[in-house]
Structure 1
Amino acid sequence: MTRPTEWWWHQPPRNDASAIMGMQTGFAAALSLGVWLVCLVLGFAAGGVTSPLLYLGAMLLLLATVGVLLSAPRDPVVLWATAVIVIVPPLAIVVAVPGLTHRPGMAYVTLTGISAIVVAFLAVRGRAVAAWVGYGLGLVVALLADQVAGPQSALLTMQAPNLAAVLMATIFAAIVRPRARQFYGLREQTEREAAARSAEEATLAVRDQQLSRLDDGARPLLDRIATDDGLTASEVQRCRLVEAQLRDRIRAPGFDLPAVANAVWRARARGASVLLFDDFDIAAGMPDPSALGEVVDRLVSVLRDAVSGDEVTARLLPRGRTRFATVSVARQGRVVRFEFDARGQESTVGNRP
């Protein structure tokens, strides 16, 4: 059973021959409606319609079939839509015949013409065999109408052009559909290669940035150590801060942001203990930026207020948990814990000795 979210107004464009022909656009829907209205007016204006309600009902059935043809999902089109497109056009002719004279002029032309167009485009959407079944049903209906409802030469005459339309659509689909698959396959391959190149360039840029930051932070200290003159207390403290910052980048890449790094550095310099953990499975997708932003804002706020002896712990939790992240601060025997859900909504769940 096709879910409503699979209809064309919810789904991405189908990469098939119908996309090349523009069948997935609003213009195609508007054009189809315009052609249907013209056919309706011609059928009534040309005379021969003895029951307007029956003729209008038949035309409305055909209009609904066109809507199914344009909007039904997947390639080839789903089976239930295929059944509708095959069955409804002959049914529309059955509905209309009692309300038409034997020679109704344009009325049969419009009915059989729209029916032929629908089954022809069904072949374009990947159901060529079903299209021929639909044409066959239309021919059977015409023959039965000729036998049961009296001579229907006009109805039978319209089947020859319909045969040509379905035949041309079948040949077109046989030629274009494989080319469409090749075209869209090449395009998807190009997009994947471009995405891979972008990811590689981004990785290299991050690596260069990390090396630059490492060089800026660690090289002066390494040069100082290489002199073998001994380190002052402040230099030892700076070494510890640099080492802790490098560990954070490895252990908690999700928190590797300038605002967090600066706040953590200052908090540790004041004597606070800060631990950062990132257990979020980034390989399966990035976290929600707004949720991560809420966590970062709270963490920076906590670090800004941290003093000597405080213990601050922040963690991005594994994917699939009911909580997204936690930030806790322990001060003088009391613990305050902030929890965040996947949308970044914050709750305070601990304030205890």
Structure 2
Amino acid sequence: MNHHSVPDSTNNGLHPSPGTDMMKAALFYQPNDVRYEDTPIPILSPGELLIKVESALTCGTDVKCYRRGHPLLLKHFPSPFGHEFSGVVVKVSPVAGQAPRFQVGDRVVAANSAPCYQCFYCAKGQTNLCDHLDLLNGAYAEYIKIPAQIAQYNTYTLPEHLPFQIAAFSEPLAVCLHGLAQSNVQPGDQVAVMGLGPIGQLMVRAAKLKGARVTAIARTVHKLALAQSFGGADQVVNLSDVNDNEAIRQKFTEDGRGFDIVIEAIGKPETWEKAVGLVRKGGTVNLFGGCPGGSQVSFDTRRLHYDEIKLVSSFHHTPTQFKAALDLLSKGDIDPRPLITDTLPMAQFEAALQQVEAGQAIKIALSNENNLQALS
């Protein structure tokens, strides 16, 4: 059996024969050392699924992981890599006495986490902060194992018309929906989005769907143009042309008062600080972009206090938001294809990450389309 095959039905596929049931996968050994190599196809436990990955997307978080590791996502080495994907169910490991939710051949998208619904935070409805959040990596591979918790609570069947590449955007779009919820974006709000990578672009589009008037802020001309053509931004600010906070407020906000909501989608201390300088009195700043660990920022306490500035932050997403993201994509309310710069074979994941890091691509879709025998 070659590495394109899936385990046979012997023993329900839970114990593939040593040395035969192999696949290609990206494995993270240490920063700057991620190898695409042969590794055993995962063994399933009850409740788990085996998915043939049809499409996986690059992500800024994956670029950061590639360069410096990650304390939450990469814990055991070598570690599977990648987390935005969709594919086809090729194995189901049932739980005794329970009818399986999925069948072999189902087209699905799985989130990269699922809450336990048992802990303090889940009881509070803050499922993205679950003490037992089951974070999933391994999308840059021929197959990925979906843990039982995710298979049960945060995996969804795709409508037939929805391409795999588009379905894979469910995760990053869900993150944006959580950010907008944390920011309490309402129709008519003047919302500024700082940073126009794929998340910033999706944030602009999703904020427009909520009825906001959106200003896109960045330094790169083609990203600003994309925020208008894809996201529908009402106006753009090129920080290479105007960078002073007061000048931006005067030119781009009514009466120069500042924006109702500023969403920082970059993740640098200096832009966190700049975001506070652009918001109006009584406004909200969402510190959405994650800075490197140990970063420090400085805010004018007088401004925060007397101007009643609300500082919020956003981490991850909830199953409700993941399903909502999939619904937006399925209905065509958001068509993310303009964000896909290129499609490459899965084996070229490292080159894809480097292109994204260098600013040569917004998002690259990685494909396993040569793996045609997977369902045989």
TM bucket normalised to smaller? under 0.3
Q: Which has the higher helix share?
A: 1
What TM-score, normalized by structure 1, do the two folds share? 0.20
Greater per-residue strand proportion? 2
> Rg bigger for which structure?
1
Give the TM-score normalised by the residue count of structure 2. Answer: 0.19
